[in-house]
Each structure stands twice: as C-alpha cells, then as structure tokens.
Amino acid sequence: MIKPKVAFVCVHNSCRSQMAEAIAKIYSMDIFIPYSGGTEIKSEINQDAVKVIKDLYDIDMNKLQRNKLISELPDIDIVITMGCNVNCPWLPCKHREDWGLDDPTGKPMEEFYKTAERIKEKMIDLNLRMHNLLK
C-alpha cells in the first residue's frame, strides 16, 4: 500500500509546521509520509522550536529538516494548517483541516512545550482517523 502524503503548512514554515513534521516522523511514519512547507520562508527554523524538539525527542531539526516553500512539496493527500487563519497556504488535496495552534514565537519556552504536546495529541488523533479521511 502506498502511504498518503501529509503536509503541515503555515505561512513561514519555521515553527509549528516544522515541529509537526518532526513529531510525525516519530508517531506517524508507519501511517503516512510527513512534509512541511510555507508560502514564505524564514532564514532558519525557529531555534526555540529546535531546542524543544531536541529536548523532548532528541531530534535535531537543524540537521534533519529545512524551511521549504509549498511549491517544493510533492502532490499532497492531506493538508494540515497550523492555525494561521486567513493567511494559511492553500494546496490541492483530498482532505484539509486546521489545527488552530497559536504561534509560540516570542513567548516563554513553556509555550513551545505546550505547543509540542498539543501537536503530539493531534498527531495521535490524526493517526487514528487516517483511514477514514481518505475514503
């Protein structure tokens, strides 16, 4: 069976979408292939997000991931927007949903940890719903 492709997108592809891609590589690689992207990119992944993912999962996003434009992504089956509302990037897909996550950028580190935990919870839920989403 071919695994579906899931893209986690946000405007800058620097924080929440990058965290979601990294967490999906832990919890979802046997279910789908994760990607992340944005319509604009920052010069680097948010370093607070990098620290949190390294602390929680021992994954160095600086080494394993990079900021990407959505135009660089393959055809996507499911698009998950992070909560950027009207400015969220649009990609053609079979299913789209918004996770409504507040951007922790510029906030205390505890907000990054809370965001990572919410992403993990939503990822586990997505894994459980995956079969039904593509029917």
Q: Greatest CA span in the chain, whole angstroms?
A: 43
Supply the pTM of this predicted model: 0.94
3-state secondary structure of 88: coil
Q: Which of 113, 75, 115 is nearest to 99 (CA)?
A: 115
3-state secondary structure of 6: strand
Question: Which pLDDT tens digit goes with each residue over 5-49?
Answer: 999 998 889 999 999 999 999 999 999 999 999 988 888 999 999
Question: Which pLDDT tens digit goes with each residue over 64-116?
Answer: 999 999 999 999 999 999 986 656 667 889 999 999 999 999 999 999 999 99
CA separation for the pair 56, 48 (Å, rounded)? 12
> Between β-strands 5-9 and 78-81, what pairing exists: parallel, antiparallel or unpaired?
parallel
